[in-house]
Amino acid sequence: MKSQPLNGGRALRIGLVCPYSWNSPGGVRSHIEDLALALIQRGHWVNVLAPVESPEQELPDWLTDAGVPVAVPYNGSVAKLRFGIRAMARVRKWIDVNDFDVLHVHEPLAPSVSLLACWVASGPIVATWHSSAERSRVLNASFYIAQTALEKISARIAVSESARRYLVSHVGGDAILIPNGVRVQAIAERARRTSKEPEALAFLGRIDEPRKGLEILLAAMPAVIRSVPDVHLTVVGPGDASAQIARMDKDIGQHVTFAGKLSDDQKIEALARAQVYVAPHTGGESFGIVLAEAMAAGTAVLASDLEAFSVVLQEGRAGQLFPTGDSQALANAIVALLNGPDRVQELAGAGRLRVRDFDWDTVVDQVLAVYEAVTVNGDKVTEDLRGQLVGRWMVSR
């Protein structure tokens, strides 16, 4: 991979590496896709390397198949990752053929193509940490080997303060804080074409992943239904809903629809139709991209008071918070909101203002500043740049 200085204004050749299956929805995968499109729109040449579960599927011309992933326990969930000798060969070929100016790997310690890319590449490498979870058994077993890859990284980015603290405490070193980006204008435009539905709630997340908190929300529904008989909850996300449906009372089930996995446009429409988006997550979240998407769709947000969510929602000013894991408190908050349309409108308006901090037009400028630092200057990211970028979106306004 080359590391030549840029001539003024010349478009960069940028390689982005996604460790997780491109077929599986998630915040990291969405972030990488949106970053790629934002960079391309700015006139840069971009190619993304990611594992793909169906080799025969049609892929965007900016995406390269890293091979079929396998499911392994990682970061409090089951992630589909790609590792091994064949994966290493694909990574090496991808880097050699594309001659990137800068390589940007996401979750560089994930035992997948991100870590392999760090080992293989030479030249400027930028890495982004998304996770704030405790180290997995896989990472514990390979951590000291992974350190040899980390030494090659020129600049480190964290999407939240909790992700930065995870990096500092478990890995060492520091990072620039640059948040996840959201396609604010595109989401808002689609939302404007979608009508709100009275007494509507929405939940987005993998159904079979406990930390997304669906069981807490379902446990709150009986109390909500008693106070708001017309309430309806739409659950969006992959996973087998049969176990949840079997546990639900028939009377409760009439108020809940499991919509399954939806396209990005359908997901935004589901958010926009709701009066309130509910995020009852119990942990393992470093940012909460879906909160920002809901705000961009003009939907009031009600979320558990995880640190990451509290930061995004400005400690309750841009969205309402409830005690994590408390289904009764959640039920009370939902009822109060559905019976208080003025409060719902207040939260929706505050959310629209807050989400501007996460618009890709802003975020991509910050990422490009890091690229410039490691390609033009040929140096590690300086404290001056870190000071310019850090914390601006974290300030409670």
The model carries a pTM of 0.79
- Whether 81 and 175 map to the same domain: the answer is yes
- Whether 210 and 347 map to the same domain: the answer is yes
Dihedral of the alpha carbons of 307, 191, 267, 325, in degrees to the nearest 10? 30
Number of domains in the chain: 2
- Whether 142 and 280 map to the same domain: the answer is no
Which among 204, 215, 352 has a CA at the least distance from the CA of 279? 204
What local confidence, expressed as pLDDT, does residue 7 receive? 43
What local confidence, expressed as pLDDT, does residue 346 receive? 98
* pLDDT averaged over every residue in the chain: 88
Range of the domain at 246: 184-357
What local confidence, expressed as pLDDT, does residue 323 receive? 98
- Whether 335 and 363 map to the same domain: the answer is no
Residue 395, in any domain of the structure: no
- Whether 217 and 165 map to the same domain: the answer is no
What local confidence, expressed as pLDDT, does residue 111 receive? 87
Convert the pLDDT of each residue in 113-139 to its tens digit. Answer: 999 999 999 889 999 998 765 555 555
What local confidence, expressed as pLDDT, does residue 142 receive? 56
CA-to-CA separations, 257 to 38, 168, 239, 241, in angstroms, rounded: 34, 42, 14, 10
Instruction: Tell me the percentage of the chain whose pLDDT exceeds 70.
Output: 88
What local confidence, expressed as pLDDT, does residue 6 receive? 45
Convert the pLDDT of each residue in 317-330 to its tens digit. Answer: 999 999 999 999 99
Convert the pLDDT of each residue in 278-302 to its tens digit. Answer: 999 998 787 888 999 999 999 999 9
Residue 397, in any domain of the structure: no
Question: What's the CATH code of the domain at 137?
Answer: 3.40.50.2000
What span, in angstroms and rounded, lies between the C-alpha atoms of 191 and 380? 41
Convert the pLDDT of each residue in 331-375 to its tens digit. Answer: 999 999 999 999 999 999 999 999 999 999 999 999 999 999 898
Residue 78, in any domain of the structure: yes
Residue 329, in any domain of the structure: yes
- Whether 266 and 160 map to the same domain: the answer is no
- Whether 167 and 239 map to the same domain: the answer is no
